[in-house]
Each structure stands twice: as C-alpha cells, then as structure tokens.
Amino acid sequence: MFALATIQQFFPHQLRVTLEEFVLATLQQFYFVQKFCDKLVSFFSPYVQIKFPEYSGYSRNQAYSAIESYVGAKSTTKASQLKGSLVKSSKALVLTRDESKVSDEFNGAKLWWVLGPSSSTSSDSEDKYYQLIFHRSHRELITGPYLEYVVQEGKAIKAKNKRIRLYTNNPSDNWSYYKKNLWSDIPFENPARFETLAMDPKKKEEIINDLVTFSNAKEYYTKLGKPWKRGYLLYGPPGTGKSTMIAAMANLLHYDIYDLELTTVYDNTELRKLLTETSSKSIIVVEDIDCTLDVTSHRKKEREKSNENLGNDMNNKKEKKSAVEKSNKVTLSGLLNFIDGTWSACGTGRIFVFTTNHVNKLDPALIRRGRMDMHIELSYCRFEAFKTLAKNYLDLDSNDLFEKIGILLEETDITPADVAEYLIPKLGKKDPDSCLESLIQALEDAKENSELTTNEGKRRLKGKRFFTRLIKKGWLLQS
C-alpha cells in the first residue's frame, strides 16, 4: 500500500491505477501463482487425487452417495474423533465422524478420503465432494477393484440403514441452481402394511407378488430390452384405501415415495427435470390424476389472467416474455413421456402410481396397459375386508355378530374408512361388542337410506310398510 502511494505521488499521471485495481491485480496474480504451484506439486508428487462431486449436472452423483455411506461407516469405526448426536427418527445414539479426513487400506495399499470443500474455503455455491488420495504406484488397484468394492459396499450399507423418505416437489420459483432443491423430503412414518390393508385376500396376494417380482426383476427387464419400471393405477371411491396402499407398497419394498404435485409444475421441461432428480427404486405418485388434469386447464386460465395483470404493470418486454413462457402447462403427452418416454428410462426400478376416484374420466392413452400395467380397484368394504379391520382394530377373529355384519355388508356400500370409524373403541369406553353393534346400526341405516334412493327400493319399502300396517291391524298373520 505504502509503495503504491509513493509511486502515485511521484508519477501521478503516468500511473493511473487505483488502489482497488492494484489489489485486484495482485490477488489475481497470487491466484495464478498458487494454481501453477499446485500443478507443479501434483506433477512431481507421488500421490494421485480423484474428485467425486456430489452433483453431476442436475442429478445427484450415485458414486458420491455410495462413497458417503462407505466412508461414513469406515469413519465411525476408524476415526479418532467422533461426534455423538440423537437423531429424531432413531432411538439410538448416532455416531458421526468429526474430522474431514479418513484413512483406509486395501490389499496393502494405504489411501485417504477427504471431504471437501473444507469449511475455511467453502462458499454456499460450492458443491460438496469426496477426494481420494493414494500413491501412484497403486493406481490400477485403486481405480479398479478398490473403487468397485467401495461402491458395492456403500450401496449395501445404504440399503441396510435406509429409512424411507417422502418427497414432494417444490414450485420452480424456489429452485436454486446450486442447492438443487427440486424436491423437499421428510422421513416417511406411515406404518400401513399389506397385512393391515382391508381388501380381498386373493387380490392382495396377487398385488404383493407382482410388486416383489418386479423389484427383483432387474436382469429380466434388461434381457427383454425394456426399461425397469412398472405402473399401477389405483381407483375407487374416497376412503377405500388407495393412499394407504401406496404407503403399504413403500413399506413392503423399502422404496422412497415421490409425491408429485402436478399443479405446481409449469411445463413438460420442469416435469422432466423433476423426474431426473428422483432416485432409482422409488415410487412416483400422482394422486387424484383426474382432478390434476382438470386443475391444469383451470390453472392455465388463472395464469393467463394473472399474466394479463402482470403485463399491464410491466414495461420490460423480457419479463413479459418469460411470464408468458411460464404459462405453458403440463400436457398429456408430456405426462405420457414422463411415464414411458425416453426420459422415464433415466432411472431404474421405478414404480409409477396414479390414483383416481373416477377411472372413466381418464384419457385411455394414459391408462393403457404398458403404461399403467396393473389396474387395481379398491372398493367398498365386504366381509373379507371387514375381517381384516376387525382383527386390526378389535383383535377379533370371530364373533357371533359377524354373520349379521357379513350379510349387511353384501347389501350395503360402505367404505373401509367408515367401517374403521365404528371399530375404534373411543377412548376405551367401548367394548368390542358395542363397537360391532354400532356398526350394525350404521349399516342398517345406510341400507334403508340407499333403499329410499332407488325406484326398486322405494317400491319394496312401500310394500314392506303396507304389509307391516296390515300385520299391526291384525289383518295379516306374521309368518
């Protein structure tokens, strides 16, 4: 600084550099010198360094996640400084390493894993990475068998420790390039299982077999030359267990759930980006697909309106253009491409689940076999389904009232959700028998109501009342 000030004093006109320019130039020079030194050192250094960044493009680097699990497990057994913390979803104390360098050994070769960037040099925009350092004499061993071993081990550790997560897509306005937060996630804690799902047992077994066969069929799909994915369409009235079945699927296969909210997706490009950000072996769910498509057209109108308002206020042409571009919507063909187009094959072992209350409303192209491979109807509660609910809620395998309930359930349409409501012993005040009696009462009421709504029912009820009157008056004997 002093030198600069002195030079400026003697040569005020010849040297027109400001103090800031001088500092900037010095820093740049320092940066290049440092880079050059790094290169020089690495040229003569006997050590090789390989970097594994967390993200490659838009998607998370699979090698990075495998290494993360492997190094994490290694560090808790080998690292000298460990940090203990209680994690919300775990009952046990979780140990993590409290240092960024971990050493390892493979067939006599010594190597080191370094987690970067170090906290002193990191900035928010910088991606994390793992750096592998080893002696160049072990190059073949490390880049071949060792890395293969690390990825395999890492994947196995990850699968063992895996807790299911529930993801939902963020509106694109909140996406940031560096954070790659297209999805938000939380631990999935829905305990639904197929054993507790009330439905026809044969159908249930068929679905379980289908899911398990699919999850183990990676090689089979490769042999067929088909992307490893499967689509399920769940349809039926509200409260018949569609969402519950999705939870049971995730718990059965240990797959993460990606709950895709289509109404917040602007266009097909965004849809593709979201898809590429989902992990393999996961369930991608679009709930109430018929409503979503309706909402899409409604949403378009809404957006056009808001763009009009926006347009009045905006002088800037560029901004106007981008707002109009944003009014593009997800189209049916975009959705089809999402399910079984070229982009759908960018991950493997994916399950697509669509749910709807109105299967007839759906475009046949969307639900044709091959896209939605299995159509599953979840319907009103019949006797077999009731038995599962009675076991779940009241721990009953049989009861004298079951027969009557069985007959009533065949004659009345009531959802499993409604049946479940009658079977919950309210704050321990109800014993199983009174629960069943209240269900019988509800079924009888529902039956009478439904009879009142159909013409045939009305005629039968009229006849029934007529005969009851005759019996009451003593003009007819009750048989």
Ligand X SMILES: Nc1ncnc2c1ncn2[C@@H]1O[C@H](COP(=O)(O)OP(=O)(O)OP(=O)(O)O)[C@@H](O)[C@H]1O
Q: How far is the CB of 298 from ligand X (least distance, A)?
A: 20
- Start-to-end C-alpha separation, the chain: 116
Which tokens sit at 183? 């999805």
Residue 417 binds to ligand X (criterion: CB under 6 A): yes
Question: What does each C-alpha distance from 396 to 195, 390, 416 come to in angstroms?
Answer: 15, 6, 16
By CB under 6 A, tell whether 208 contacts ligand X. no
Shortest Cβ distance from residue 192 to Mg ion (Å)?
Answer: 12
Q: Is 215 helix (H, G, I), strand (E, B) or coil?
A: helix
Residue number of the CB closest to ligand X reads: 241
Please, what is the minimum distance in Å from the beta carbon of residue 286 to ligand X? 12
Q: Which is nearer to Mg ion, 242 or 382 (CB)?
A: 242
Q: Which helix (H) or strand (E) holds 134?
A: strand 129-135
Beta-bridged to residue 259, according to DSSP, are 168, 285
Strand pairing partners for 83? 96
β 256-259/282-286 pair status: parallel
Q: Which does 227 bind (CB under 5 to 8 A by kind): Mg ion, ligand X, none?
A: none
Q: Taking the complex as a whole, how short is the minimal distance between the CB of residue 392 and ligand X, in angstroms?
A: 7
Distance from the Cα of residue 81 to its chain's centroid: 34
- The piece of 17-25, 237-245, 306-314, 398-406 that touches ligand X (CB under 6 A) is 237-245
Q: Are 387 and 395 in contact (CB under 8 A)?
A: no
Which residues between 346 and 375 bind ligand X (CB under 6 A)? Answer: 357
Which one of residues 72, 241, 347, 349 is an interface residue with ligand X (CB under 6 A)?
241
- CA dist 472 and 5 (Å) reads 119
Inter-CA distances, 28 with 22, 33, 35, 36, 118, Å: 10, 9, 11, 12, 21
Nearer to Mg ion, 79 or 260 (CB): 260
Cβ-based nearer residue to ligand X, 129 or 380? 380
Q: What are phi and psi of 232, to 5 degrees?
A: -125, 130
Task: Using the rule CB under 6 A, give the single segment among 127-135, 234-242, 252-260, 313-321 that binds ligand X.
Answer: 234-242
Is 420 a binder of ligand X (CB under 6 A)? yes
Q: Using CB under 6 A, which of the segments 83-91, 146-154, 240-248, 258-266 binds ligand X?
A: 240-248
Question: If we measure between CA atoms, which residue out of 49, 52, 108, 104 comes closest to residue 73?
Answer: 104
One residue of 75, 240, 282, 344 binding ligand X per CB under 6 A: 240
Q: For ligand X, which is the closer residue by CB, 102 or 390?
A: 390
Closest residue by Cα to residue 50 from 146, 120, 156: 146
Smallest separation, CB 340 to ligand X (Å):
24
State in angstroms the smallest separation of the CB of 387 from ligand X. Answer: 11
What six digits make up the tokens of 356? 């709807």
Task: Quote the tokens at residue 269.
Answer: 């490009």
Which of residues 148 and 189 has its CB atom nearest to ligand X in the complex? 189
200, two tokens = 């026809």
**Of the ranges 28-36, 97-105, 132-140, 413-421, which one interacts with ligand X (CB under 6 A)?**
413-421
| Interface region with ligand X, contact rule CB under 6 A, candidates 207-215, 223-231, 238-246, 368-376 | 238-246
DSSP 56: E
Is 415 a residue that touches Mg ion (CB under 5 A)? no
The item of Mg ion, ligand X, none sharing an interface with residue 241, based on CB under 5 to 8 Å by kind, is ligand X
Residue 227 interacts with ligand X (CB under 6 A): yes or no: no
Give the three-class secondary structure for 36.
helix
Which among 81-89, 235-243, 374-382, 424-432 is the span making contact with Mg ion, rule CB under 5 A? 235-243
- CB 279: neighbour CB atoms within 10 A? 19
* Residue 251, both tokens: 């718990």
Give the one residue of 69, 75, 243, 415 binding Mg ion; rule: CB under 5 A: 243
Tell me, what amino acid is at 258?
A: Y
User: In this chain, which of 204, 242, 299, 350 binds ligand X, going by CB under 6 A?
Assistant: 242
Choose the contact partner of 416 out of Mg ion, ligand X, none; CB within 5 to 8 A by kind.
ligand X
Reference 274, options 355, 343, 371; nearest CA is 343
Q: Which stretch binds ligand X (CB under 6 A): 112-120, 128-136, 197-205, 262-270?
A: 197-205
- How many amino acids of this chain bind ligand X (CB under 6 A)? 15
154 binds ligand X (CB under 6 A): no
**Strand pairing partners for 350?**
229
Q: How many helices (H) and strands (E) does the chain have?
A: 18, 15
Please report, as ranges, the residues that interact with Mg ion according to CB under 5 A.
Answer: 242-243
Please report, as ranges, the residues that interact with ligand X according to CB under 6 A.
Answer: 197-199, 238-244, 357, 378, 416-417, 420
